[in-house]
Every structure is written in C-alpha cells, then in structure tokens.
Copies of this chain bind each other. A is one copy, B any other.
C-alpha cells in the first residue's frame, strides 16, 4: 500500500469526493434487498450494481444518456429479471427511497472535519435530486458546499468532460485538485484527467489495469488527512 506523503510541489487546494461507496455506505440498500428477497439479497445487490455501472458506460458510449435515477431503476429491474425475482413497483420505491437516506461511513464526518482547510466538493454520477436528498439527510450541506452531478453534461464517469466540470466550477487547475473515490476505475479516470488521486480500497481489491494508477491508496477516508499535513 502506498503511504508516501505528497511531494512538496503538490499543493492541493480542493478535495473532491465521489458519493456512493466513498462518502455514503450503500450497505443499507443491500440489507433492504435481503429483506425484500430473503436469501437473494447479496446476489441481487451485486448484479444490480454491476448493471448500474454497465448502463452508465454503455449509454455514454451510445450517446443515449438517461439520468442516474432512471438507470438505477432500469438496472434493478434487469437484475431482478435475470435472477427471476418478482420486482413490483413497491420494491423499486422502497429501494430508491433507501438510496436517498444512505448513512455515511463511520469515519466520514471526522475525516471531512480534518480537511476543513480545503475547498470540498462532491462529483457524482447521481442525479441532482438524489444527491441533494442524500447529502441533506446526512447533514453534509454545510461541510461540502459544492455538489456536482454529471447530469448537466449528459455523460458519465470516466469521460474526461466529467472531471473537467470540477475544474470549471471550482476554478482550480487540475494539478491542484485531489480526487477521492472508492472505485478504482473512477480514481484512474480522474488520474488520467490530471487530478491527484486517492483510491479508498475498503475491500482490499486488486488494482484495475487501465493505463494509469491512483497516486495514493487508503483503507478508508481516515487515511487521507495524514497524507495532507502541511
């Protein structure tokens, strides 16, 4: 695991976070899946998440964008059909509602508090209404003043235009932006664009092979403030 401190010439002004799985724990969605389809919750959650991402990439390449709320519902229906689970409107409503009130991880609040010197922002695939709700319900509105959705661009991560949105909105050059994601491919996409990147590898997954690698790997968000001591 990389633990080197940032070189003195890497002066970060802003820290930008992915939302789902990075700041917010989707465990409650998985638990709810298990309640709705006992014994199949984990299989469903895994396939749902895989299809959700797949649809973001495919629709980006096909130039057929739909927002993340729609994609999340579509991928849930597909995953249920593939696993031959009945998927009624009440199931979808319950799970989409769960998405709006995700918990933060145990260390999220303290880590963000320790990073108060930086401009903080979220950059997420999430639809604006989904993001607004989950950030508000977690009480992060004032801690993270800038919440950016890909929706205005109608394209998903890791298209470089998504990362450019941060540069344009915060008015900070890429070299001075740190980007934090629990998805290795997202950290790689941000690194490829030019950010300094932190991969939050909670599960000890192997690195993806995408031509670039994250600058830092941490086990959870608490690993970031020590790397940024000035």
Contact = CB atoms under 8 A, between A and B. Distances in A.
A78 B78 CA distance: 26
Nearest to A156: B61
A158 interface: yes
B212 A54 contact: no
B77 A211 contact: no
Contacts of A54: 53-54, 57, 185
Nearest to A161: B61
A45 interface: no
Given A58-B57, A64-B192, A82 B210 contact: no
A78 B192 contact: no
A114 B30 CA distance: 49
Interface in A131-147: none
B209 A62 contact: no
A182 to B, nearest CB: 15
A176 interface: no
Interface in A45-82: 50, 53-55, 57-64, 66, 74-75, 77-78, 81-82
B212 A78 contact: no
Contacts of A58: 57, 158, 185, 188-189, 208, 210
Interface of A: 50, 53-55, 57-64, 66, 74-75, 77-78, 81-82, 156-160, 185, 188-189, 192, 205-212
